[in-house]
Every structure is written in structure tokens, then in C-alpha cells.
Amino acid sequence: MIYGIILAGGSSQRFRRDTPKQFIDLAGKPILLWSISTFSKIRDFRKLIIVLPERWFEFGKKIVLSHLEDERLEFVVGGSTRTESLLKGLMFVKENYGVQDDDVAVTHDAARPFVKCEDIVSSIKMCEKSSAATLALPATETVAICEKDMIVSLTDRKRTFIVQTPQTFKIKTFLELFERLTEVQRASLTDATGVFVMNNVPVSIVEGGPRNVKVTTELDLLIAEVIARTLSE
């Protein structure tokens, strides 16, 4: 079975507005609706699990249901961190549907509104060959490794990628690998791929695109508005 998990549980601390960014209007539609609507077009998913912040749970659920009719929609209260929210989504699957060896989760940040259907499908197909896959964009600029505001090394641009979502993986494998991590390792996680990398399990790359932007700042929102208007024309 394949499950889609949309992570919309953040509080948007870097986004200086009273309303979390996932609920802000983007060309006539709340940001989180863009990616949820795209996932809804793919019939391979058994369930589409939307992880929402506790404070905004009923508000977010009402927004989604007022815009989209899909009998596969499920809603889960998120945690205080992205990792906690992801785990809550996965545990919802495990507790309600059970997890078999080949069951797959396709996890995506609601703050990336312009994910393409074909990229989601490609991620699923890649995960059939490996335990995990992630969208990633080849770096176009040199990335510096710094300590105390000083550059200590430069990365090889040809080997450097900007990690995006969706990130797709075998659920059972993820949960088993997560249990092996120390508390320090768990605290350092920023996305699902870290669980595999820290356990020396390869993560396959599906090349993403520049359109798959993440809305983190006000400038990102301005860029997203331009993209949204172009797609809506």
C-alpha cells in the first residue's frame, strides 16, 4: 500500500504573520491546498494523511474539506517538530492500517505548493528499487562549509544537491532505522532522509526542479505568487 503524508503541522516561526503560512492565500487558494490537490490526482494512494498543528487543527481541516472532496483524506495532529509530525503521521498508518514490508509513505512539505504529479510518481517508482528516495535539485552555486564564520572547505558542485520533497520510503524500514538512532541523532534530524543516511542506508535521488520552491520567507511568498499566477493562467 502507498500512503501520502502532507506535513502541514508547522507554526511558521520564521514567517512573521499571525496565521501559519500553510493557510495563507496563494492566488486564490490556501498554500497547503496546492500540494494536497496534486496528491489527490494520484489514485495509487490508499490514504492521504494531512498533519496539522494542534492549535489550528479544526481550522485547517475545515479549509481542506471545504475545497477538496476525497474519501481518502485523514487528519492527524502534528508534533512540536517536523520529525515529531512525521512520526505521528506514520504511527497513524501503523495503528489504523498496519504496516507490511512493502508499504510506502510519500511525505511532502505543505510549504512546497508546486510539486508535480510526475515527480511524485517517479519517487514511488524509484522507491520500488530502494528503501528510500528523495527529490533533489543539483546545486548551481558553490556551497561552503564554515566554522565560526570562516570557510573551512568548499563542496564539489557536481556532487552537491539541494534536497527537496517529496521523500518516499518503506515505512517499516524507516521505523526500524529510527529506533536505532540516539537521542542526539534524532534531535539533529531535519528530514526523513537523515534516518537512512545516519544508518548508512543509501537514499536514491529523483531530480527535482526549480519550480518546487519552499515558502519559508515573505520573499518566497512573492516568488510563489508569480508561479501560482502563471500556473493558473
pLDDT at 15: 57
Task: Show the CA angle centred on residue 229, arms to residues 225 and 233, nearest 5°.
Answer: 175
**pLDDT of 153-174, one tens digit each?**
887 777 888 999 999 999 999 9
pLDDT > 90? residue 76: yes
Which has the closest alpha carbon to 8: 59, 65, 53?
A: 53
pLDDT > 60? residue 94: yes
Domains in the chain, ordered, with CATH? 2-232 (3.90.550.10)
Distance CA 110, CA 51 (A): 9
What's the predicted TM-score (pTM) here?
A: 0.92
The SS3 of residue 48 is strand
Distance CA 125, CA 118 (A): 10
Please count the other Cβ atoms lying within 10 Å of the Cβ belonging to residue 37. Answer: 15
Contact 135, 123 (CB under 8 A): yes
Strands (E), the chain: 2-7, 25-26, 29-30, 45-52, 73-77, 104-109, 132-138, 144-147, 150-154, 161-170, 204-207
pLDDT > 90? residue 65: yes
Distance CA 123, CA 128 (A): 9
The SS3 of residue 132 is strand
> Half-sphere exposure (CA, 13 Å, Cβ side) for 42?
23
pLDDT at 141: 82
pLDDT at 159: 83
Distance CA 125, CA 138 (A): 20
